Structure formats: C-alpha cells, structure tokens
C-alpha cells in the first residue's frame, strides 16, 4: 500500500457494514499511515462494495471515510461503487454493477496518469501539522 500509486478498499456487506476483519485492518492501516507522516497522502483511492441485498451504500460511505480522512484523491464512477450478487461470481450478472466497476477503473487510470504527468509541473499542497481538538480544547 505504501509503495502503490493507487489503493482500492473493497468489502462485502456484513450487517449493513464493513466485514469485521476488514474493519480491524483499516483501523490499523490508516492509524499507522497517519502516525507515520501520512503514507497514503495524495494517492488515488477508491472504495468498492459487493452486497447481496441492502447495506451497500452505508458500507461504501464507511470505506470512503478512510480515504477522505487521508488527503487522498478520490476516483469515482457513474454511480456508487456497489455490485450485487449472492453466490460467488453472481455479481457478473449485475450488468449495471459491472459497468460501474469498469468506469471506475478507467477514471482511476486517468487520475493516475494525470498525477504522474503533472508531478514535476504542478506542485502538490504542502502537508500541514494537524490540529487536534476535542471541540473544546
């Protein structure tokens, strides 16, 4: 993840949320990234969700919380990045879901190329020291 130019976070939906192990991993990974000087800063990120019935957009939002907390560049598609299916591989039959994933891949590739081609000509914002309060102090 540290050496990648882009990161995709993908989870199935468990009780309308991120699957447990994935949640544990993301809490750890993004805490570590933050406390080591922002390891994921300005990488291109995207969230992907596979769901049987409902809870897809809640899980998608939850995954995006990690990306948008880390100054990442968010790749998007023509809908929220959610695909439907029950048995393994059934998602292939979700034609709209498949298109969403395909458009996401192309947009992500374009953002990565844009980032690469402008790295010497367009300076990225300098990192700031994070202000941490509990609203009152």
Partner 1 sequence: MKVVAINGSPKKEGNTYHALRMVGAQLEENGIDFEIIHIGNKAVRGCLACNNCGKNKDEIAMIGIKY
Q: Which residues bind partner 1 (CB under 8 A)?
A: 1-12, 18-19, 21-29, 31-32, 35-36, 39, 44, 46, 48-50, 81, 83, 85-86, 88-92, 97-98, 101-102, 104-106, 108-110, 112-113, 116
Half-sphere exposure of 57 (CA within 13 A, CB side): 2
Residue 71 or 105 having the CB closest to partner 1: 105
Residue 68 or 92 having the CB closest to partner 1: 92
Q: How far apart are CA 47 and CA 49, in angstroms?
A: 7
CB atoms within 10 A of CB 55: 19
Chain centre distance of CA 56? 14
Residue 44 or 55 having the CB closest to partner 1: 44
Residue 71 or 84 having the CB closest to partner 1: 84
Q: How far apart are CA 11 and CA 17, in angstroms?
A: 9
Q: How far apart are CA 102 and CA 74, in angstroms?
A: 16
Angle, in degrees to the nearest 10, between helices 20-35 and 56-68: 10
CB of 135 to partner 1, least distance (A): 19
CB of 137 to partner 1, least distance (A): 19
Half-sphere exposure of 86 (CA within 13 A, CB side): 1
Residue 35 or 121 having the CB closest to partner 1: 35
């Amino acid at each position: 993840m540290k050496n990648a130019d882009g990161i995709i976070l993908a989870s199935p939906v468990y009780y309308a949320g991120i699957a447990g192990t994935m949640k544990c991993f993301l809490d750890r990974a993004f805490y570590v990234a933050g406390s080591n000087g922002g390891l994921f800063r300005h990488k291109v990120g995207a969230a992907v969700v596979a769901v049987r019935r409902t809870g897809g957009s809640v899980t998608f939002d939850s995954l995006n919380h990690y990306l948008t907390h880390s100054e990442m560049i968010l790749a998007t598609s023509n809908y929220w990045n959610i695909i439907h299916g029950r048995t393994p591989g059934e998602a292939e039959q979700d034609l709209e879901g498949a298109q969403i994933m395909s458009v996401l891949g192309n947009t992500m590739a374009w953002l990565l190329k844009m980032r690469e081609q402008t790295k010497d000509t367009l300076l990225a914002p300098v990192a700031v020291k994070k202000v941490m309060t509990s609203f009152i102090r």
